[in-house]
Amino acid sequence: MNSKQIIRMNHKYVIDTYGKQRSLALVKGKGSRVWDADGNSYLDFLSGLAVNGLGHCHPKVVQALKKQAETLIHVSNLYYNEPQVLLAERLVRNSFASKCFFCNSGAEANEGAIKLARKWGHTVGNGIGIVTLKRSFHGRTIATITATGQEKFQRNFHPLVEGFKYAALNDLASIEAVLEDTDCAIMFELVQAEGGIHVATGDFVKGIRKLCDERNLLLILDEVQTGMGRTGRLFAYQHYGIKPDIITLAKSLAGGVPMGAMLAGPKVADIFQPGDHASTFGGNPLASAAALATVSVMTADGFLKNVRALSKYLFADIRKIAQRHGFVREVRGLGMLIGIEFDGPVKNAVSDCLKRGLIVGTAGENVMRLLPPLTATKKEIDEALAVIEAVLEKFENESAKT
């Protein structure tokens, strides 16, 4: 099928929850590049929304999938499976965590974290209230849209879940202002991604850890987007010199295969008892094998160091380009999670990038979002920067005319 045919069938048979932001029908990917159904190629600096951290069809992931697909795809969690335990051990060995729970998406991982916090709150904590942040994003289930501090995701779906309240990023006083004796957790993203690429400060994160210790609260970090090497560390909390009680993962975890995980520290690792929570697909052999291959690549010598070097290179050049254009308000982010804020909508600039063969995204109206593959080369980064430079140039000329 060509692109037109695929798109026409999509509009006829698939419920349209994404709308006009989509224009490509993709059929093939390799490394940092994808091809559409008409044979055009694109440099993919959105990485399937941070899922293709290792680029498209990474050979180690493909190899692991092929081998596992020929051996055992699924058994359900009524039985044990080897890839799952190897993955759990690997994640524990490389983090603060004592134990893992596996599921299939970011929303589900957060749902698990919310349930775990509530059970902990009921049994050993003070209550079930959870503080999250304005501008956050935690997923699309009823509990996770409630946790998400953005009205636009919640309208049409009331009544929401009880017990959530919202404070502001990098504003400890706003957290203290909403905290009550009946709360059990504070949950947030270290980089608010969907909310516009806003990075938590060290003082804020350390302050929250202290607050959680003093008030007997769990610190839950949603690392669905920031985890798995995206920020230049395997997990973003490792930049901050603190240990959370729970983190949630998904996106890049299994190299493109749907998978989520909740990692629990010593305080909460044994709170769930048989029957409390479950997932039919969670941690099945196929997804676990893909994730194990992904984590192996990411924790191999020099991989994350190279991501940090690429990030430094990318940031320096983007900042230089941005300085030449008055409408760019700020460049911010961490590692390979980068936002370029304009003083108006970025929609046209994003579609201009696409016309020139570069896929980038948005984070809200005014922020262009870059999520390059962690495996991108300097040459690919240069290619992307040249497109961005040309697009900003054109954007400036056009805004000067109007």
Ligand X SMILES: *Cc1c(COP(=O)(O)O)cnc(C)c1O
Cβ closest to ligand X, residue 146 vs residue 387: 146
Under rule CB under 6 A, residue 282 binds ligand X: no
| Nearest-10 crossing angle of helices 303-323, 378-401 | 20
Q: Is 138 left (phi over 0), alpha (psi -120 to 50) or beta?
A: alpha
- At 239, list the tokens: 């930049």
| Least separation in angstroms between CB 223 and ligand X | 8
Under rule CB under 6 A, residue 261 binds ligand X: no
Which range in 58-66, 92-100, 106-114, 325-333 contacts ligand X by CB under 6 A?
Answer: 106-114
Under rule CB under 6 A, residue 250 binds ligand X: yes
Structural contact between residues 75 and 284, judged by C-beta atoms closer than 8 angstroms: yes
Which parts of 218-237 interact with ligand X (CB under 6 A)? Answer: 222, 224-225
What is the distance between the alpha carbons of residues 223 and 187, in angstroms, rounded to a whole number? 10
Under rule CB under 6 A, residue 105 binds ligand X: yes
Cβ closest to ligand X, residue 113 vs residue 328: 113
Binding marks (x or -) toward ligand X, 131..150, rule CB under 6 A? Answer: ------xxx-----------
Residue 85, CA distances (Å) to 38, 140, 175, 252, 285 in order: 42, 29, 37, 19, 10
| Least separation in angstroms between CB 352 and ligand X | 25
Q: Which residue has the tokens 């994160």?
A: 205
Cβ closest to ligand X, residue 222 vs residue 245: 222
End-to-end CA distance of the chain: 41
285: cis peptide before it, omega within 30°? no
- At 16, list the tokens: 């349209």
| Least separation in angstroms between CB 389 and ligand X | 28
Burial label for 268, CB within 10 Å (0-12, 13-18, 19+), is buried
From 49, 212, 263, 52, select the one nearest 137 (Cα to Cα).
49
Q: Which one of residues 44, 111, 183, 189 is an interface residue with ligand X (CB under 6 A)?
A: 189
What is the distance between the alpha carbons of residues 132 and 134, in angstroms, rounded to a whole number? 7
Binding marks (x or -) toward ligand X, 192..211, rule CB under 6 A? Answer: -xx-----------------
Structural contact between residues 270 and 66, judged by C-beta atoms closer than 8 angstroms: no
Residue 6: Cβ within 10 Å count = 17
Which range in 89-97, 99-107, 313-321, 359-367 contacts ligand X by CB under 6 A?
Answer: 99-107
Cβ closest to ligand X, residue 288 vs residue 387: 288
| Least separation in angstroms between CB 326 and ligand X | 31
Residue type, 286: L
Shortest Cβ contact with ligand X: which residue?
106
Under rule CB under 6 A, residue 375 binds ligand X: no
Under rule CB under 6 A, residue 283 binds ligand X: no
Q: Which residue has the tokens 């029908």?
A: 25
| Least separation in angstroms between CB 114 and ligand X | 12
Under rule CB under 6 A, residue 107 binds ligand X: yes
Cβ closest to ligand X, residue 44 vs residue 189: 189
Cβ closest to ligand X, residue 225 vs residue 362: 225
Burial label for 57, CB within 10 Å (0-12, 13-18, 19+), is middle
Which chain residues interact with ligand X by CB under 6 A?
Answer: 105-107, 110, 137-139, 189, 193-194, 222, 224-225, 250
